[in-house]
Amino acid sequence: MLRQKLDSRVISAIALLSLFTACAQHSSSAVAAAQAATPAASASSAAAPSAPLVRGLPDFSGLVAAVGPAVVNVQVIERSSNSRTQRLGGGGNEDPFNDFFRRFGIPQEQVPQGRGSTPQPSRGEGSGFIVSPDGYIMTNAHVVNNASKVTVKLTDQREFVAKVVGSDETSDVAVLKIDGKNLPVVRFGDASKLRVGEWVLAIGSPFGMENSVTAGIVSATGRSIRSENPRNYVNFIQTDAAVNPGNSGGPLFNMSGEVVGINSQIFSTTGSYAGMSFAIPIDLANNVREQLVSNGKVTRGIIGVTIQPVTSALAESYGLDRPRGAAVGSVNKGGPADRAGIQADDVILSVNGKPVASNSDLPPMIAAIRPGTKADLEIWRNKASKHVSVVIDELQEDTRATRTSRNSPNQGNSSGSAVEKLGLSVRELSATERRQMRADGTLLVDEASGAAAEAGVQSGDVILSANGKDVGTVEELRAAVRGSTVARLRVQSWDQSGQSYTSIIAVRPE
């Protein structure tokens, strides 16, 4: 009886399974018929999923082994300060709480100095990379500015005292030189070929941790950011590679092991990495290096216009197809643009055939053109484009007297140190600035510290003469005060109402 019941259940199960199989076959046939009725394109997309565009993560070990030996640690001893506080461990102008877009030497503490105590030199640290077998090194200007001694440490632990060949504050690029032979060097890449999303590698000394490697991707290119420098001639490479205080001056590599940028700034409210870092494109930096090595200074082009962005509303009013170019706000009378016929309310669309995507593109494009050469500018006027030829003038830089190669510890009593010992950082006023200030002279005091500040010289004063000699340039001031035990300065100052007055101030060099 039990056997008969089991046989009956087995037969029922087989019958039920056959029913399910038939249903499945019927369903598959129905789906097949439905798919046959759909368009071929749809069937194709459903049949094979798209292949992933990115597979796996890169292994950076081979790249690091190849390029790492050319990356160096830069240690700096800064000149003594007379301030009542001393900064320890970084560039003297670092303040992790005040500077939103940060340059990054090692973070610094504030150590109170006792009354009458002897000021102690502060120390800083950054990074750099070797660009020639005989010892030329690139780093950031803010790493070595105001340095009394610079020491370069290689990955093999050898140390060299470095000479500051030149420093360009505008681009934040500096060149060092050590005595070496057959040193490992980096290769330069083409920053203009970087693509957003590609991998990049940073090597440096964050927080003094030498030869640290971090990786990330290119987040953006051509990034114009705010900084303490009112003139912006650098459109940065933005990455998310982790860089921190001490990475300044270190290289940014592409996956071919080529340097495409110099790590320079971070975006942070704390002073440490917050997901965004900025590198100077290597083509711009290398141009600065070549000029510093060859000429000791950097020249930049200028056409004499003020510009502003082309907004959607402005583009519409101009009759442009989209917002692009740089709108000319004003033209300096008698300047290159004025002589070429450029007018206020024109829009500059291209320079030598290269499109000006936004107003931030124009200054570095013009600055890169050698003064005295002609440039073809495409402008937009009266809803039509036209081309004009402009002869580029030389930009009169805000040359700081203390920002020179003469800060090498072996240079002694140089013409640069003559002004520096007064505690002055000065620059030459442009003709426009002089008119706006109604200044009688051309030599503006950017910063006054030490002896000059104690004597009463203030930032914003204009130096008219030194030791009875009229001075209008940095070099003239250097010559006038060189060797003086007391420098007699005639300065023009302004009170709170804007009225100017002249005074004579005696400054005893430190």
**What DSSP string runs through 181-210?**
SS----EE--GGG--TT-EEEEEE-GGG-T
Q: List, by residue number, the catalytic residues.
A: 142, 172, 248
Token code pair at residue 398: 């805000």
| Residue-range domains of the chain with CATH | 59-296 (2.40.10.120), 301-394 (2.30.42.10), 413-507 (2.30.42.10)
Any residues with CB less than 8 A from the CB of 349 and at least 6 apart, and which? 324, 325, 355, 356, 378, 379, 380, 385
> What does the mean pLDDT of the chain come to?
79
Lowest model confidence (mean pLDDT) among 18-22, 53-57, 231-235: 18-22
**10 Å Cβ neighbour count for 374?**
13
* pTM for the full predicted model: 0.63
Any residues with CB less than 8 A from the CB of 319 and at least 6 apart, and which? 383
User: Is the confidence at residue 48, as pLDDT, over 90?
Assistant: no
Q: What is the pLDDT of residues 433-466, one digit of tens each?
A: 888 888 989 899 988 888 888 888 998 999 998 8
Q: What is the pLDDT of residues 211-248, one digit of tens each?
A: 899 999 999 998 887 554 545 788 899 999 999 888 99
CA atoms within a 13 Å half-sphere pointing along the CA-CB vector of 431: 6
The rounded distance, in Å, linking the Cα atoms of 66 and 165 is: 27
Token code pair at residue 84: 């009542």
Token code pair at residue 457: 């010289």
User: Is the confidence at residue 311, as pLDDT, over 50?
Assistant: yes
Decide: helix, strand or coil at residue 36: helix
The rounded distance, in Å, linking the Cα atoms of 458 and 456 is: 6
Identify the CA nearest to 262 among candidates 239, 296, 292: 239
Are the C-beta atoms of residues 347 and 316 closer than 8 Å to each other? Answer: no
User: Is the confidence at residue 208, as pLDDT, over 50?
Assistant: yes
Q: What is the pLDDT of residue 53?
A: 62
| H helix runs in 383-460, sequence order | 415-420, 431-437, 450-455
Average of pLDDT values for 271-277?
Answer: 80
Instruction: Give the C-alpha distances (Å, rounded to integers) separating 22 from 28, 126, 159.
Output: 10, 76, 83
Beta bridge partners of 93: none
Name the DSSP class of 251: E
Radius of gyration of the chain (CA): 32
Q: What is the pLDDT of residue 415?
A: 35
Q: What is the pLDDT of residue 491?
A: 87
Q: Which residue in the block uniquely carries the two structure tokens 């997901």? A: 275
Are the C-beta atoms of residues 231 and 238 closer than 8 Å to each other? Answer: no
Split at pLDDT 50, 70, 90, the class of 54 is low
The rounded distance, in Å, linking the Cα atoms of 232 and 242 is: 24
Q: What is the pLDDT of residues 136-194, one digit of tens each?
A: 999 999 999 888 899 999 999 999 999 999 999 989 999 999 999 999 999 999 999 99
